[in-house]
Structure 1
Amino acid sequence: MLVVKPVSTIQLEPGSFITIPDVTWKQFEAILEELPSKRSLRVSYYKGTF
């Protein structure tokens, strides 16, 4: 079953992290668009992993 949840609704404790595999660059850019421009989190993309 596929679970869809907007990235902007995910709340993490300080020092937490999530890894999302199999993300295209286009999908990564769409995720960045969904996040607020002033954010206190670090976002990175490496070889299809967000």
Structure 2
Amino acid sequence: MVEIKEGVQQLVLGLYIIRGDNISVVGELDEELDSNLDLSKLRAHPLKPVIH
């Protein structure tokens, strides 16, 4: 097992393009904010159809 003695370094690498039909959300989660959401009242605009 490797013991970590230093902090974590975050590198901003810019924009990522992720190709795939099954990707819905990619991002960092704020657990405190997420736990306060009432998902039964949350609505979004309908998605446009995918045209290949």
TM-score range, shorter chain: under 0.3
Higher helix share: 1
Q: TM-score, normalised by structure 2?
A: 0.24
Structure with the bigger RCO (C-alpha within 8 Å, sep 6+) is 1
- Normalising by structure 1, we get a TM-score of 0.24
